[in-house]
Structure 1
């Protein structure tokens, strides 16, 4: 009987740990930083690559854990989040705080071992996400602009880890992931609008599922598309893109833009959910094209 209890409890502790650190989201962020590293590096150093992946994971995991501590009462009000470890009572705030603090320390130490700038940007992203973005979510839609800054750091962080230099190249990578986040987050804010409303979160730019929000989704999709092809023109230093890859990246941007326009036309939660799924595929595919282009050029 006792064996049975253990076997039931073990996965639940593991799944709670995965949820408090949002493992899937954290891994997608790690993917972005690895892509940035591969773009910036002359020869791949697998030790630094592993340190970057670990440090990045700890930083995002820490941000997510702090976020869930701060929002525990609001999470309890929403269908999507009420079964998270803290509001559901499976994890104490103290346990979550210990995880978040240990993850922060490990993340900063590991990133510092790569170089100082990487650790600095990692620390900035935790601070902005936890201390600025999270409290602003219940106050103003501007929170999405603030949240887009830490969200755009990982792609750039990889380049800085590779080169110990912040210039036009990581700036371009930052801009690309920064603009992409608006259609992505507003799509989520649209199809979870009623759930967010219960907790008093203001995620959409106009505060409503209206044409004004849909137009902004289209505008930021266009900005993302334009920034994504800038490296083909040759003025972003070592960050370059061949014409063939630029055409592929442009086509991917049009694919996301199509779903943004479709949201404007249909104004449905289903269309918003489809745009969110396409935006997730877009960012990963775009990063893969950039990396492959560098290594076959």
Structure 2
């Protein structure tokens, strides 16, 4: 019979393993991707198929989890140098590279297989996302700030992935959803890169477009926010096929965009970490809220 201390130890060790698993697959980020994918599905579907939604959510989670696990295997030595990442499962020594690789491989197989059960196009875009994130974006992070541009491609796939899952078609509609999430990532990641600039430097990462926390970087965040607003309200023109935004919804989306632009301008004016954090939080709120507005608008019209 187990003693109380043995039971407590085994419970604690299970909690540590589970926490490491969550860190390796970045559960929070994975859930935000699942949210975007499901929003895209709801926009594209004529009739909502619950089994497809469940498969999309699972496939999306496995896809992002695999990308993050491979990323942490590749960057384990650099993660050990940074305050923010040194306690991750692999650099801290709590998880072996082999164990992480096994999880990443299983997640890749499950993710692509589940997405393939929805339709082949969805699986193809899922596979492209994993490949670009791990084989192109991750190695480029220490080489050039253009890595953010490359990383924006796999990062922009989830919103459009849902539409492709619903329709088995790639056209102007998922292309527009892709552009929205593509432009969004630049102010979002540059705000994070600004806040963590010193820590990133320890790991040799160069995430800001000029390599510095300067006016030119802040100005680019403003420019991409403007492009984001344009892409987000564009479906109101009626030029994006079955993806349509009513005038009222377009006004709401536009106002949300102006709110995010306010914080991007705030970064340009203040040039400090507090302003960068405000922009980062505003960007997270923006992408979540406009996806909700898009879905509500579709079902009201």
**TM-score, shorter chain, exceeding 0.5:** yes
The residue number in structure 2 matching 1:284 is: 288
Which of 17, 24, 28 is the matching residue for 1:24?
28
Query: How far apart, in 2, do the equivalents of 1:168 and 1:34 lie?
Result: 18
**TM-superposition CA deviations, 1:52-100 (whole Å, max 9, x none):** 0000000000000000000000000000000000000100000000000
For 1:8 and 1:22, the matched residues in 2 are separated by 20
Q: TM-score by structure 2 length?
A: 0.98
1:155-234 superposed matches below 5 A: 155-234=159-238
Unpaired segments of 5 or more residues in structure 1? none
Q: 2:258 aligns with which of 222, 245, 254?
A: 254
Per-residue CA deviation, residues 238-286 of structure 1 (Å, 9 max, x unaligned), is: 0000111000000000010000000000000110011001100110000
Instruction: Indicate yes or no: 2:253 matched with 1:243.
Output: no
SS at match of 2:88: coil
Runs of 4 or more, structure 1, over 6 Å off, are none
Unaligned runs of 5+ in 2: none
Residue-by-residue CA offset, 1:4-41 (whole Å, 9 max, x unaligned): 11111111111000000000000000000000000000
Q: Secondary structure at the match of 1:200?
A: coil
2:38 to 20, 29, 34: 34
Pairing partner for 2:48 from 41, 44, 48? 44
Normalized against structure 1, the TM-score is what? Answer: 1.00
Deviations, residues 102-143 of structure 1 (Å, cap 9, x unaligned): 000000000000000000000000000000000000000000
The superposition leaves residues 140-177 of structure 1 with CA deviations (integer Å, 9 ceiling, x where unpaired) of 00000000000000000000000000000000000000
What's the RMSD between the two structures over aligned residues?
0.4
**Is structure 2 residue 64 aligned with structure 1 residue 60?**
yes
- The number of aligned residues is 297
In 1: Cα distance, 2:152 partner to 2:59 partner: 20
State the partner residue of 1:141: 145
Match of 1:268 in 2: 272
**What is the CA–CA distance in structure 1 between the aligned matches of 2:126 and 2:8, rounded to whole Å?**
42
